[in-house]
Amino acid sequence: MFKFDRTLLQKFQKDGFLLFRGAVSKEVTNPILDVAKVHLKYKIPPIETEAEYIKEDKDEYKASVRRLRQVYDRDIVFRRWMESSLLCNYFRAILDDKPILVTAHHNSIMTKLPKTSTQTKWHQDIRYWSYNNSNLFSIWLALGEENSQNGVLEFIPGSHKMSFSKEQFDDRLYFREDLEQNRKLISKKVSFNLEAGDVILFHSLLLHRANKNSTNSPKISFVYTVKGEKTKALPNSRSAKFKEIKLC
């Protein structure tokens, strides 16, 4: 477990994200990556394709896996990482509550495959989630190199604390880049080149995005979500249909 540093908690509260360099060893990331590659190769369901994501009915996008869904139940190597106590001090402090693993959202191996990947537009993760508050954040584990060429995450610092009008988003709830007020905010974006074992925590309201993969190698990452115990899924929503697991 990482020794708790209150200044890092304050940084998360201010920026909406927190980066831990080299947090996870190759003894953990390599088996995860090996299993993920097998599931990707054989397209073991449930999966999401690029065609589903961009609503484009082309064969090249239908054949391109964007994410492996519901990885908690796929293999023990995934569960071990998701149930790890490595960052639990930060989970509890950020949430000011007991951390609960959410399997309804994220719970995924995320990919950007060469040639067929598409950009991820600016968005807040919580836009399609249904909870009584926004006390959730995601944990992103890099399983290899991530940079501007293969689709590294970009964030708008502090955007998790900002109020936006409905008009600042399009009909799919992506943050519009054609508005001057939005472009000014987007100009403040930041990103970090990542290596295998780097971990980023980011708030459910934080605006973020990623480019498509312009290299010849796949980018593969692991992302899952936690919430506070007092944060409840709304009845009859997708958020309420999947199990939750108590963490540390």
**Segment 121-140 mean pLDDT:** 97
Q: What is the CATH number of the domain that holds 12?
A: 2.60.120.620
- What per-residue confidence (pLDDT) applies to 25? 97
The answer to the question of residue 152 being in a domain is yes
- What per-residue confidence (pLDDT) applies to 62? 64
The answer to the question of residue 36 being in a domain is yes
**Segment 233-241 mean pLDDT:** 97
Please check the confidence at residue 56 and state whether its pLDDT lies above 90.
no
Give the total number of structural domains in the chain: 1
The answer to the question of residue 217 being in a domain is yes
pLDDT tens by residue, 183-214:
999 999 999 999 999 999 999 999 999 999 99
Please check the confidence at residue 246 and state whether its pLDDT lies above 90.
yes
The answer to the question of residue 1 being in a domain is no
The answer to the question of residue 115 being in a domain is yes
pLDDT tens by residue, 157-184:
999 999 999 999 999 999 999 999 999 9
Q: What is the 3-state secondary structure (H, E, C) of the chain?
A: CCCCCHHHHHHHHHHCEEEECCCCCHHHHHHHHHHHHHHHHCCCCCEEEHHHHHCCCCHHHHCCEEEECCHHHCCHHHHHHHCCCCCHHHHHHHHCCCEEEECCCCCEEEEECCCCCCCEEEECHHHHCCECCCCEEEEEEECCCECCCCCCEEECCCHHHCCCCHHHECCCCCECCCCHHHHHHHCCCEECCECCCCEEEEECCCCEEECCCCCCCCEEEEEEEEEECCCCECCCCHHHCCCEEECC
pLDDT tens by residue, 58-90:
666 667 899 999 999 999 999 999 999 999 999
- What per-residue confidence (pLDDT) applies to 195? 98
Domain containing residue 65: 6-246
The answer to the question of residue 227 being in a domain is yes
The answer to the question of residue 123 being in a domain is yes
pLDDT tens by residue, 25-55:
999 999 999 999 999 999 999 999 988 777 7
The answer to the question of residue 73 being in a domain is yes
